[in-house]
Amino acid sequence: MQTKLTNQIKQGKIFIYPTDTIYGIGCDATNKQVVTKIRKIKQRDKKPFSIISPSINWIKENFIVEVNLKKYLPGPYTLILKKKDKEFLNWVSDTDSLGIRIPDDDFCRKIQKAGVPFITTSVNLSGQSPITKISEIPRQIINKVDIIVDKGELNAMPSTLIINGKEVKR
pLDDT digits (tens, 9 = 90+) for 89-141: 999 999 999 999 999 999 999 999 999 999 999 999 888 988 999 999 999 99
pTM above 0.75, yes or no: yes
Split at pLDDT 50, 70, 90, the class of 169 is confident
Domain ranges in the chain?
Answer: 4-168
- Listed residue (53, 47, 7) closest to 29, CA to CA: 53
CA 116 – CA 7 distance, rounded (Å): 12
pLDDT value at residue 127: 87
pLDDT value at residue 32: 97
Q: What is the pLDDT averaged over residues 136-161?
A: 93
Contact 25, 137 (CB under 8 A): no
Burial of 133 (0-12, 13-18, 19+ CB in 10 A): middle
Query: Rounded mean pLDDT of the chain?
Result: 94
pLDDT value at residue 2: 66
User: Over pLDDT 90: what percentage of the chain?
Assistant: 86
Of 3.90.1010.10, 3.40.50.2000, 3.40.50.150, 3.90.870.10, which CATH number belongs to 4-168? 3.90.870.10
Per-residue pLDDT reduced to its tens digit, 43-53: 988 899 999 99
CA 122 – CA 120 distance, rounded (Å): 7
pLDDT value at residue 135: 96
Secondary structure (3-state) at 6: helix
CA 15 – CA 33 distance, rounded (Å): 15
Distance, CA of 131 to chain centre: 14
- Listed residue (60, 53, 81) closest to 161, CA to CA: 81
Who's near 94: CB < 8 A, 6+ residues apart?
46, 48
